[in-house]
Amino acid sequence: MEALRFEQFERLWLKSHPVIGEKWVQERIAENPEILGLGDVVLRDKERLQPKAGRLDLLLQDADGERRYEVEIQLGATDESHIIRTIEYWDIERKRYPQFDHTGVLVAEDITSRFLNVIGLFNGFIPLVAIQMSALKHESVVSLLFTTVLDQMTLGLPDEDEEAEVTDRAYWELRATAHTVGWADEVLSLIHRFDSAYMFKYNKYYIGLTKNGQTDNFVTCRPQKSALRIELRLSRSTELEERIVEEGLDLLDFNRFGKYRIRLAKGDIKTHEEFILDLLKQAYEESGGG
């Protein structure tokens, strides 16, 4: 194994740098948008002209999904004008392209506490992400490090609370099939390995979970005619997404409600039993362990 050695990197403040500026940062992100840590995203446009509102630095999109990210880059500390600009660009794009989900992203060298306090008032209503950027230099090499300091809050679904229209097992067997509803039973059996108190609650749009009479949908099931779609409430992670794909499961997307959607075909639950059990336990623990 190659020996590792420690090297001291110098922090650069690009706001006052004589050579490296915002355009250089924009180009580096455009070359490899994944360095922002937003997942598997691709570049849709840069310097995108906004009607009567200047230019959007970068427009990114999930490679296999329906979410777009309106990215505003700022050197130095966050200020009010960039907050307004980020929200404005997000609003323009979501109105122009309502078929996509949209998230505003502000990238800055210093995400101030005042900014976090202000933006926290919008988060959950206006989907915003704040990413702190650090430029590091060693000899003639400069690198960029991006750290998410404020992630998009997940929005609660109205069909996850007491407003959900209650149905029964027969409804789902008619809507899907008895076989695919049976696959949902297999998921519940896996859950019972670590918490036997959970029961199914059959709703119009999904099969949810209750524990001691309280709703706790860390996973929901949606049987279809020839498949079972499960939705797991998990923190977004590129590493996790890669594990799911490598396992051979059909990962659909990470939706705006903070859930991974996975389509399970016939035999998938038995074939990938331990892996699916691990995903369920992780979602369970992240939800507070029931």
Reduce the secondary structure of 191-238 to three states and give it as a string: HCCCCCCEEEEEECCCEEEEECCEECCCEEEEECCCCEEEEEECCCCH
Q: Assign domain 10-150 to its CATH architecture.
A: 3-Layer(aba) Sandwich (3.40)
Alpha carbon 237 to its chain's center: 8
Coil, strand or helix: which one is 183? helix
36's torsion region: left (phi>0), alpha (psi -120 to 50) or beta?
Answer: alpha
Where do the structural domains in the chain lie, given as residue ranges? 10-150, 158-286
Alpha carbon 25 to its chain's center: 23
HEC readout, 159-181:
HHCCCCCECCHHHHHHHCCHHHH
Instruction: List Cα–Cα distances, 262 to 81, 92, 215, 244, 281, in angstroms.
Output: 40, 31, 21, 9, 16
Query: Where in 36-127 does DSSP place strands (E)?
Result: 41-49, 55-62, 67-77, 101-110
Q: pLDDT truncated to tens, each residue of the chain (290 aa)? A: 677 887 778 888 888 888 888 899 999 999 999 999 998 899 999 999 887 778 999 999 987 667 899 999 999 988 888 888 899 999 999 888 887 889 999 999 998 887 777 776 765 678 889 999 998 988 888 899 999 888 765 444 444 544 467 899 999 999 999 999 999 999 999 999 999 999 999 998 899 999 988 889 999 999 999 999 999 999 888 899 999 999 999 998 887 678 899 999 999 999 999 999 999 999 999 888 75
Looking at residue 54, its pLDDT comes to 85
CA separation for the pair 142, 254 (Å, rounded): 32
**pTM exceeding the 0.85 threshold for the entire prediction:** no
The pairing of strands 67-77 and 101-110 is parallel
Q: Which of 33, 60, 256 is nearest to 144 (CA)?
A: 33
CATH class of 158-286: alpha beta
Looking at residue 152, its pLDDT comes to 66
Half-sphere exposure of residue 191: CA atoms within 13 angstroms, side-chain side: 29
Looking at residue 163, its pLDDT comes to 46
Looking at residue 244, its pLDDT comes to 93
First to last CA, the chain: 44
CA separation for the pair 26, 212 (Å, rounded): 51
Which residues are within 8 A (CB) of 262 and not within 5 positions of it... i.e. 6 or more apart? 229, 230, 231, 232, 244, 249, 250, 251, 252
